[in-house]
Amino acid sequence: MDIAELERARLRAVVEADCDVLDDVLHVDFVLCTPSGDVWDRRTYLDGLRDGSIDYSRFEPQSDIEVQTSGSLAVVRYLSVIDVVTPAGGGHLECWHLDVYVRGDDSGWRCKWSQATDTIHD
C-alpha cells in the first residue's frame, strides 16, 4: 500500500473508530496537534475514539494527497473536510493537514506526527 492509500485508510479508520487499524498505522510516539491547538498523544487519541468522546462522522480529503519521501521519512499534505465532536467542542472544519510518516525496519510506514490547521475563519 502506498502512503496516500495508507493515509486514506487512516481517515476511514478514524471515522469508523477502528482502533485495530489505527494500532497498526499510528507510530508508538504519535502526536496530533488539533485545529484548536490541543495536543493529543497516541493513547489520548485512541482512548477518545474508543469511548466516543472523540467522534468523527466525516473526514475526507478535498484535494490530492501529496506525498514527498526521503529515505525513511514521508511528508503528507492535503486539504480535508471534517465533522467531529471532541471534549473541547467540535463541528464542521476545513483543514490543511501536514503529516509525517516514518518507516521502521520491520513495521512499515507509520504516522508519527499529524497537524491540522482550520481554514474556516468565523
Q: Distances from the Cα of 75 to the Cαs of 17, 79, 112, in angstroms?
A: 24, 14, 10
Task: Dump pLDDT digits (tens) for 22-80.
Answer: 999 999 999 999 988 999 999 999 999 999 999 999 999 999 999 999 999 999 999 99
Contact 80, 60 (CB under 8 A): yes
Q: pLDDT tens-digit profile of 64-121? A: 999 999 999 999 999 999 999 998 888 999 999 999 999 987 779 999 999 999 997 6
Q: Is the pTM of this model over 0.85?
A: yes
Q: What is the pLDDT of residue 122?
A: 59
Domain boundaries along the sequence of the chain: 3-118
Q: What is residue 113's predicted lDDT score, i.e. its pLDDT?
A: 98
What's 15's DSSP letter? H
What's the pLDDT score for residue 106? 77
Place of cell 475563519: 121
3-118: CATH, from 3.40.50.12160, 3.10.450.50, 3.40.190.10, 3.90.700.10: 3.10.450.50
Amino acid at 26: L
Q: Are 25 and 7 in contact (CB under 8 A)?
A: no
Say which amino acid occupies 23: D
